[in-house]
Structure formats: structure tokens, C-alpha cells
Chain A
Amino acid sequence: MIRSRFSASSRWCLPLLCWALSATSATAQELGDGLQLHGFLSQAVVRSSDNNVGGDSASKVAWDMREMGVNMSWRPNPDWLVSGQALARWAGDADDGDLRLDYGFIDYTFLTYGDDRAGLRCAWARSRTLSASITLPAT
């Protein structure tokens, strides 16, 4: 299964911004056995009147912000979901395209009642902290 999506939105806004555009494309691939691979690519195109954002946007069209992500998930059975996303981001001095783990989840559902479920989710987040949370009825 391959799917692509194309959308444009102004994600980076400044009061005096002339125009900003971000094109995003996402695709998905079914690998079988409960394994799925998804990815996205996002490119910002910014032109502003006074202040620079995402590059030298006040004097020319800036193409310096982009983001690329690969997302994988594996559901070995209905009660377990292992998922994670690797992200590379380019944004001025803050991000130079280094690949990093955006997040990693291990989710276990121990109780399902009708459309509600309760479970435990262990998460590795961007801040390199490990956390565990209990998911309560989510419909």
C-alpha cells in the first residue's frame, strides 16, 4: 500500500510575514506481519517583509527549513504496539539535519471493555527521558 498526501499550510507565521508555505508529503508501506512503515518530508518556503525566519527570508525566498521522518510500528498482537520515529530536521543553527530518535513507544493494553481500554505505555521521548504512563479509557 502506498499513499501520498500533499498539503500546504502556513506553519511558520510572523505578523509581518508576506507569505510562507510548507509542503508536506507522507507515504505509507505495509510490510506484513503487523509491521508498517510510514514516512514524511516537509519543506518550508518562506518570504517575509521584515524579520528573518527559516533563513534569509526578509531579502529572498528562504528554503532552509525542512524535516524528514521515518516512522515504524509493529503490532504483534492486538494488545501490544511497538512504535518509533526517526527524525532529521534542518532549521538554521538549531537543527542541522542530524538523525535522532523522535520517540519510541511500547504500549500494552491490559484491559479492554467495550470501546474503552486501559493500558501501560513506556516512552522514550526527544528529551532522552524514559517515562511510563497509564492509558485510561480512550474511545
Chain B
Amino acid sequence: MGVAQACAGGGLFVLGLALLGLVMAGPALAVDIIAHRDVSQAVLSVASARAIFGMRHVKWPDGTPIKVFVLADQHPTHGSLCKERLNLFPYQLRQSWDRLVYSGIAQAPGEVSSEEEMLSRVASTPGAIGYVRKAKTHDQVKILRIE
């Protein structure tokens, strides 16, 4: 095999690896926003979702208190929620919560330790909202559409 052939082969190999990487990375991680089954809304605007997860919007249109549950800032699903659904970075949400809490004008969200706990807390708390990586149709929660 000549040097030129070896180089071409090497180039193709690298290209192949890159393509394989792309295929394996797949599409962006999807995250579903979930709510308690009695929540009347089925669709949320991005602005409303930001206001709710930003703790500035505290009741549903029917007057039920909104109870927000979040995962830890470092949790990958929390990162997906912020970046894919709210168009924010987790640190921006954290800064906003800290500012509101320490200036006394809002409360912090409830923090859960796992997606399983998220599902069970949202399913059992009236007015609750949260998110999971992939909600299954048989989960005891409602999936909210974001538009």
C-alpha cells in the first residue's frame, strides 16, 4: 500500500468515526414537562413555562396553587429542561431563584433527588409540575405540551 493510499484510508477511517459519533449521539435529549392529572391546562407557552419554573407564576388559571418540583442543578435532565424547554442555562435559573428568595419576593421550588421521586411527587401533589427524561403513557401524570 502506497503512502497516498494509506493517508486516504486514514482519512476515511477518521470520517467514518466522526459519522458514527454523530449517529450514536442522536438527537438532543428530550425532556417531558409533567403535571398532576387534575391540572386543567394541556399546553404551556415557553414564557409561561419560564414564569412557572422561575417561581414568578404561582397559580394555575383555575386558582390552584402551582407546586414546582425540580431536580438538582447538576442533574442532566435538569440541564435538558433548562436548555431545551426554557432556553436558559441552569445557573441562570438558580441565580433568579436566589435573587427572588433572598429579596423576599418569591419562594424556592421543591427539590427531589431522582426522576422516580419526581414522578411520585408530581402524581401525588395537586397542582404539581415537574419534568422527566421520558414520561411513559401509563405514568400517573399528565404531559404538558410546550408551544
Give A contacts to B, CB under 8 Å: 1, 3, 5, 26, 28, 30, 34, 36, 38, 40, 69, 71, 73, 75, 77-79, 81, 83-85, 103-105, 107, 112, 114-115, 138-139
**Does B134 sit within 8 A of A, measured CB to CB?**
no
**Cβ contact within 8 Å between B104 and A3:** no
Binds A, one of B12-20, B50-58, B81-89, B136-144: B50-58
Assembly CA distance A75 to B55 (angstroms): 12
Assembly CA distance A139 to B111 (angstroms): 23
**Cβ contact within 8 Å between A77 and B102:** no
**Cβ contact within 8 Å between A115 and B47:** yes
**Does B3 sit within 8 A of A, measured CB to CB?**
no
Assembly CA distance A77 to B47 (angstroms): 23
**Cβ contact within 8 Å between A115 and B104:** no
- Which residues in B have their C-beta under 8 angstroms from that of A81? 105-107
Closest chain A CB from B96 CB (angstroms): 13
- Which of B48, B56, B101, B110 is the one whose CB lies under 8 Å from A138? B56
- Which residues in A have their C-beta under 8 angstroms from that of B93? none
**Cβ contact within 8 Å between A115 and B106:** no
Closest chain B CB from A20 CB (angstroms): 21
9 contacts between A and B (CB under 8 A): A5-B98, A28-B108, A38-B102, A38-B108, A69-B102, A73-B107, A77-B65, A103-B104, A115-B48
- Which residues in B have their C-beta under 8 angstroms from that of A5? 94, 98
Q: In the complex, what residue of chain A is closest to B45 when comparing beta carbons? A: A115
**Cβ contact within 8 Å between B101 and A75:** no
- Which residues in B have their C-beta under 8 angstroms from that of A114? 48
- Which residues in A have their C-beta under 8 angstroms from that of B107? 34, 36, 73, 75, 81
Closest chain B CB from A64 CB (angstroms): 23
- Which of B47, B98, B101 is the one whose CB lies under 8 Å from A73? B101
**Does B66 sit within 8 A of A, measured CB to CB?**
yes
**Cβ contact within 8 Å between B57 and A115:** yes
**Cβ contact within 8 Å between A73 and B104:** yes
Q: In the complex, what residue of chain B is closest to A26 when comparing beta carbons? A: B98
Q: In the complex, what residue of chain B is closest to A71 when comparing beta carbons? A: B102
B:36-93 near A, CB below 8 Å? 47-48, 51, 56-59, 63, 65-66, 72
Whether A139 contacts B58 in the complex (CB less than 8 A), given A1-B111, A28-B108, A77-B65, comes out as: no
